[in-house]
């Protein structure tokens, strides 16, 4: 049995997240279907993260054990031939037996894309959030700087969060602009349910003067979600990179 790691990318628009669910098709199910067509067996897949419905991925890692002698280039080519057009295998690798896409992961980077303009962009529908007020990047960066470090992010996660330990370490966070496209980026050792989308919502709240910069440390210390820190729509969020040793 070989432990095979796949690096994939996908548009999440048509999927109810990665993890298999009863209420709709997921990326995991689409991958399992493709793998079963190629290998004749329905192998168990381990994913690196449970992305929400509508969230995209520039790079997503998964692994599965398979009894096959097919070369890696052949696995990549065969899977890409049968996968839906909104999912692609970028790389196939043999990894050690103890590799696990989730538990071997040391960190992730997420992006949130915002079309920051007074008119909509039809070419980014479903791919970026449209926000018509000009974002002050200096003000936004001041908020992002507060997030960097090891903190309790209980106040910045959704109500469906099931993780008791809400302390996470953020190693990089900021906002950058390229024309009318603004990207929020954040890297860390792990993220809570809806955490990234709520962090973006918090930045927007400060830029709109609905929150003061000084409010953020107090919110973090109290661990209580504020209504101003809204959860941004899923379609602007991308899992951008997954880090392993």
Contacts of 11 (CB under 8 A, 6+ apart): 56, 86, 87, 126, 127
The torsion angles phi and psi of 81, rounded to 5 degrees, stand at -75, -25
How many CB atoms lie under 10 A from the CB of residue 13?
15
Q: How many C-beta atoms surround the C-beta of residue 72 within 10 A? A: 15
User: Nearest CA to 194 among 54, 97, 68?
Assistant: 54
44 as an active site residue: the answer is no
Q: Which of 109, 84, 73, 74 is nearest to 32 (CA)?
A: 84
110 is an annotated ligand-binding site residue: yes
Catalytic one of 52, 118, 136, 215:
52
Q: What is the 8-class DSSP label of residue 161? A: -
Gyration radius of the chain's alpha carbons: 19
Residues assigned a catalytic role:
52
User: Residues annotated as binding site for substrate?
Assistant: 110
């Amino acid at each position: 049995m070989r432990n095979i790691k796949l690096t994939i990318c996908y548009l999440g628009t048509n999927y109810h997240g990665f993890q298999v669910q009863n209420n709709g098709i997921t990326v995991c199910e689409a991958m399992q279907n493709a793998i079963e067509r190629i290998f004749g067996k329905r192998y168990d897949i381990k994913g690196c993260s449970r992305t929400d419905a509508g969230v995209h991925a520039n790079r997503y890692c998964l692994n599965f054990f398979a009894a096959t002698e097919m070369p890696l280039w052949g696995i990549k080519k065969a899977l890409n031939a049968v996968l839906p057009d909104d999912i692609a295998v970028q790389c196939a690798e043999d990894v050690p037996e103890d590799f696990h896409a989730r538990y071997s992961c040391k960190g992730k980077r997420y992006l949130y894309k915002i079309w920051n303009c007074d008119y909509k962009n039809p070419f980014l529908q479903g791919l970026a959030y449209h926000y018509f007020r000009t974002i002050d990047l200096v003000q936004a960066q001041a908020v992002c700087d507060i997030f960097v470090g090891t903190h309790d992010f209980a106040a910045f996660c959704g109500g469906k969060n099931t993780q008791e330990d809400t302390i996470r370490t953020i190693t990089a966070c900021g906002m950058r602009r390229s024309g009318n496209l603004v990207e929020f980026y954040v890297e860390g050792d792990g993220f809570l349910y809806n955490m990234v989308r709520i962090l973006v919502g918090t930045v927007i709240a400060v830029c709109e003067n609905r929150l003061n910069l000084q409010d953020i440390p107090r919110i973090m210390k109290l661990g209580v979600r504020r209504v101003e820190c809204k959860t941004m729509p899923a379609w602007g969020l991308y899992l951008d990179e997954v880090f392993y040793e």
